[in-house]
A and B are shown apart, each in its own frame.
Chain A
Amino acid sequence: MKIAAILRQVPDVVEELVIADDGRSLAEDEVMYVTNEADEHALEQALILKGRHGATVTAVSVGGDEARDALATAVAKGADEAVYVPVPFGDRGDNHRLAAHLAPAMKEGGYDLVLTGFWSADQLDAGLAGLLAAHLSLPYVGGLVSVAVDASTKKATVRKEFPGGRVGVMELDLPALLGIQSAEQPPRYAPVSKVMQAKRTLQAKELGGSFPKEDGVRIEKLLKSDPAVRAEMLPGDAKAVADQIVRLLRERGIV
């Protein structure tokens, strides 16, 4: 069985996000990158399936130079093959064009399963897995929290989240595209020494061809979220804040 996991490098939203002078993009020099969280889970789910079925896992990493580091980490975690997909900074977040760019390689790879995150932090349009499925005319479901494969019947049984903690069990014929919400277990940790070693020996194929240039919907204006509706901030150190919280709770009869 062959599985591909697509990993996108996205701005780390825990860090400060700086809007560029053009007012419609992030300042490239200020962005700190992380692998998109749901994509980390997609890789983990692929590695879990590898453990169960002896599958070959190909990590496909999308972004700038930082995407190569993510590939080294993926290999250190257990991925067998690495593919680097350079995408110019200004073109990221557009899954329509990314899907068009990746589709031929995903088809050529002959994967039984292509997994990627159900969403990405910088996503402007629809989810990548659904768009890729449409390009390749393959079955797709997203928002998944587990994937089981029956290699003999070429079927996958997946669990999809619905509101209120409900879970829908669904079955798909393989090959298929899956949008992962979270893996069956937390993403594994790769020891630094293994990552360093993987970095030294990494042999990543690079996906050639230019990124599609067709017109999507572009951002006219990028803003920080609305400060007018923000919370009343409690000043001071931890002790002062604790005093104020206790006062608020007493006033409301909560303690």
Chain B
Amino acid sequence: MTSREIVVVAEHMGGELSDITLEMLACSRELTHSVGWHVTCLILTDDPKPFEALPLASDRTIVVQDPALGSFNPLASARVLQHVLKDLSPRLVLLGNTGVGMDLAGLLSYRLGAPVISGCARIRTEGERIVFTSRLCGGKLLAQREVQSGLAIALLMPGSFHRESGMQDQVPSAEVRRSPESLEALPVRFVELVEPKTEDVDVRKVPILVAAGRGIQSKENLEGVETLAKELRGAVCATRPVVDQGWLPRSRQVGRSGMIVKPRLYLALGVSGAPEHVEGMKDSELIVAVNTDPEAPVFDVAHYGATVDVLELVPILTEKIRTLRGG
């Protein structure tokens, strides 16, 4: 009989489950509306305590404990998962489309002989088939793919499901296991976790953010954006490419690996809206996006949009706000 088991591989840091874990559970819950599916939340850690009594929206929690699982190590995790997943023989393994899940997917796929579907925004079942809708090309395209039978590994895009639906009123049964394999003397070792330095502005605390994307084109053009942000009594943040160019410090980066912000206003200038960036700003109260490409995915998340040239708009908008403020 075809397996109807879904395994969610949890991500956590500092004894707390990450949002993506709850989002993956929410995704599983939606999938298991059809009868007979069973969801396991699998947590790899050195200390099971914080995870044993959580009201997760799963049928059971399995915690695998080993001192080597205290910090993320792709090799250690993949070794454990390989054994546990063979034992559970699920139909679907959910990983986050994150730095952690993306590290595990290839290793697991190779060892378990299972296909990987990355960038999943939606997953549904059609009879025995599982149908995946995933984002490609910076979020500009959606690809629909199917797995007819056998194990599939899916990487779920953060922000695709509500984290709240990953919890329920009762605590599922929990089981703690030892690592099925020795995790000593691995050729990959975790040394330390470094917390971010907030160099000048903490963009998470600023209610008005003007975001500079690649469309800003040069460091010189950032001056105008800074002036606009000043007139708005806000601060400038940026997408990864702008920070990678060294135009702004890393502490200003908004997105999956940067800061998650929820300001009153997010004015996105020359931002394409790649999924990695959208994850960090989609919950802003008001998003206004300006990009010359009418198909830019940023317009999928913005409340208001315009396709004029940002370099032309910035000085005009700055002047209008200055006039309004009587400056």
Name A's B-contacting residues (CB within 8 A): 10-11, 13-14, 16-17, 19, 37, 41, 93, 95-96, 99, 118-119, 121-131, 133-135, 139-143, 157, 159-173, 176, 179, 181-182, 185-186, 216-226, 229-234, 236-239, 241-246, 248-250, 252, 254-255
Contacts and interface: CB of A to CB of B under 8 A. Distances in A.
Please classify how large the interface on chain B is, using the bins under 10, 10 to 19, 20 to 34, 35 or more.
35 or more
B55 interface: no
Nearest to A218: B145
Contacts of B288: 245, 248
Given A140-B107, A167-B194, A127 B102 contact: yes
Interface stretch (B30-38, B174-182, B252-260): B252-260
Most buried by A among B187, B260, B289, B293: B187
A168 B72 contact: yes
Nearest to B106: A130
Given A13-B138, A164-B196, A186-B246, A221 B144 contact: yes
B65 interface: no
Nearest to A132: B106
Contacts of B300: 225-226, 229-231
B1 interface: no
A12 B74 CA distance: 31
Nearest to B97: A119
Contacts of B107: 130, 133-134, 140
B303 A232 contact: yes
B260 A131 contact: no
A118 B98 CA distance: 11
B304 A234 contact: yes
B317 interface: yes
Contact of B140 (A131, A165, A224): A224
Contacts of A17: 137, 140-141, 295
Contacts of B18: 163
Contact of A231 (B152, B305, B312): B305
Contacts of B214: 14
B219 to A, nearest CB: 11
A141 B103 contact: yes
Contacts of B316: 238-239, 242
A17 B139 CA distance: 12
B75 A139 contact: yes
Given A140-B107, A231-B305, A121 B187 contact: no
A129 B107 CA distance: 10
Given A163-B98, A230-B300, A170 B308 contact: no
12 contacts: A11-B137, A17-B137, A122-B136, A127-B106, A169-B190, A170-B73, A220-B144, A222-B141, A224-B142, A225-B139, A241-B306, A245-B317
A165 B71 contact: no
B103 A162 contact: no
B121 to A, nearest CB: 9
Contacts of A250: 324
Contacts of A186: 244-246
Given A160-B99, A162-B193, A126 B118 contact: yes
